[in-house]
């Protein structure tokens, strides 16, 4: 490591327990909601697009978890 490179402490790169739990819960919700929608689509002889579901789920999650007043930078 050269003198000009800054060291980052390992603990600064680790997410906290609450964030880990939140991410696990979101993953379970995404998976379970997708399974329910896939079963519903199968019952109605329709196609279910997992990629589209994942995109909508991520957008929904971002809109829910973003603090009021924060916007994406363009």
What is the average pLDDT across 15-39?
92
Phi, psi at residue 71, to the nearest 5°? -130, 155
Question: What proportion of the chain, given as a percentage, has pLDDT over 70?
Answer: 77
Closest among 64, 50, 56, 59 to 22, alpha carbons compared: 64
pTM, two decimal places: 0.65
Altogether, the residues listed in the chain come to a count of 74
Bigger pLDDT: 5 or 18?
18
Residue 70 has pLDDT above 60, yes or no: no
Residue 68 has pLDDT above 70, yes or no: no
What is the average pLDDT across 54-74?
71
């Amino acid at each position: 490591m050269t003198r000009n490179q800054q060291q980052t402490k390992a603990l600064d790169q680790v997410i906290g327990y609450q964030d880990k739990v939140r991410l696990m819960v979101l993953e379970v919700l995404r998976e379970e909601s997708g399974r329910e929608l896939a079963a519903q689509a199968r019952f109605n002889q329709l196609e279910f697009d997992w990629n589209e579901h994942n995109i909508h789920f991520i957008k929904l999650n971002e809109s829910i978890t973003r603090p009021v007043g924060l916007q994406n930078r363009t």
